[in-house]
Structure 1
C-alpha cells in the first residue's frame, strides 16, 4: 500500500465510525421533556421509577421528584451526570412532572 491509499483508508474508516460516536453523544443530551416522556413510558423501571399511572401517583404524593427521574436517566446511560447539577434542567424536569399530574386531573 502506498501512502495515499493508506491515508484514504484512514479517512474512510474514520468517517464510517463518526455517526456511531455522534449517536452515543446525543443520547447524553436529552431535553427535560424527553426525560419526562421516557419516565412516563416506563423506560426507567429498572432504576426504580415506575411508568404511567404509577409515576403520576408517585409524583402527586411526593415520593418521586425530578432528581429521582434525572438520576434514573443517568443510571440508564441516557443522560450525562452534569444534568443533575444544572438547576435550570432540574427545574424544567420538575415542571414537566407537575404537568403530568395536572394533565391527569
Structure 2
C-alpha cells in the first residue's frame, strides 16, 4: 500500500512539474519569432481573397468597382492591382507594407487576370 501511494505521489509530482513546461513550450516559439512580433494588427488577406473581396464590392467606398464593372476596368487598364491593394490598405484590410510588396502585387495581378480571362 505504501508503495502504491509513493508511486502515485511521484507520478502526480512529475506530471505537475512537466505540465507548465509543456504549456510554455507551445507558446514560446511565437514569442521569439520576429515575424510574428512585427505582424500588423490588421488581417493579412492572401491575393485570391483580396481579388474576391474586390469583385464582391467590399472596396466600393474606396472607389473600386465591383462585379462586371470591375472586370471591364481591369481589362481596360483603368484599375490595376496596385489600386486594389491601396483600397484594401485604406479599408484596414491589409498592412501598409503590402503596398511595396512586389510579390504580393504580382500574385494579385495573376488573380485578376484569371478573372478576366476568356
Structures share a fold, TM > 0.5?
yes
Q: What corresponds to 2:76 in structure 1?
A: 61
* Residue 86 of structure 1, CA deviation: 0.7
Q: Distance in 2 between matches of 1:54 and 1:74?
A: 21
**RMSD (Å) for aligned C-alpha atoms:** 1.3
Task: Specify which of 76, 79, 83 is matched with residue 94 of structure 2.
Answer: 79
Decide which structure has the larger Cα Rg and report it: 2
Moved over 3 A (4+): none
Q: Distance in 1 between matches of 2:89 and 2:49?
A: 13
Q: Distance in 2 between matches of 1:54 and 1:68?
A: 15
**TM-score (normalizing by structure 1):** 0.72
Matches within 5 A, 1:1-105: 25=41, 27-102=42-117, 105=118
Which structure has more RCO (C-alpha within 8 Å, separation ≥ 6)? 1
Q: Specify every segment of 5 or more residues in structure 2 that has no aligned partner in the other structure, as ranges.
A: 1-39
Q: Specify every segment of 5 or more residues in structure 1 that has no aligned partner in the other structure, as ranges.
A: 1-23
- The number of residue pairs the alignment matches comes to 79
